[in-house]
Amino acid sequence: MNGLIVAPSAKKLKSIVMSPVPSMMNEGCRPYVDITNNIDNKVIYSSLKFDPQPKYYCTMTDSAIHIEFPEGEEPFLTGDVHFLFKSKGVILDSLICRVALNTAFI
């Protein structure tokens, strides 16, 4: 291939770790993550959605949030992907940070 990058490249997301968990004013922080693709802004995954049988394992301590997907249940990521880390508020949700990447460069 002589250094050529074949795109798009599909990747499996095995886990998400957010560390440290920020403190948002005096209310604390109830963080969640939305993963969208850049083509049509389709939500690939959201940890905020209610699911009676969650397909991920989520632990939250004072210092980190770890979302781990079971084998065979990992979401596939391809092309431009956006990770939006937000804090759930009473009235509005606050954006903590966002990360954008292309799977061809991973």
Instruction: Check whether 61 has a pLDDT greater than 80.
Output: no
Q: Is residue 5 part of a domain?
A: no
The total number of structural domains in the chain stands at 1
The answer to whether residue 4 is domain-embedded is no
**Calpha distance 44→52 (Å, rounded):** 18
pTM of the full structure: 0.78
6 within a domain of the structure (yes/no): no
68 assigned to some structural domain: yes
Distance (Å, whole) CA 33 – CA 76: 16
3: in domain: no
Cα 38 vs. chain centroid, distance in angstroms?
14
Residue span of the structural domain in which 47 resides: 11-105
pLDDT in tens, 11-38: 899 988 888 877 665 566 778 889 998 8
Tokens of 106: 């991973």
Q: Is 105 helix (H, G, I), strand (E, B) or coil?
A: helix
Q: Is residue 94 part of a domain?
A: yes
Task: Report DSSP state, residue 1.
Answer: -
| Domain containing residue 38: CATH number | 2.60.40.1110
- In this prediction, residue 62 carries a pLDDT of 64
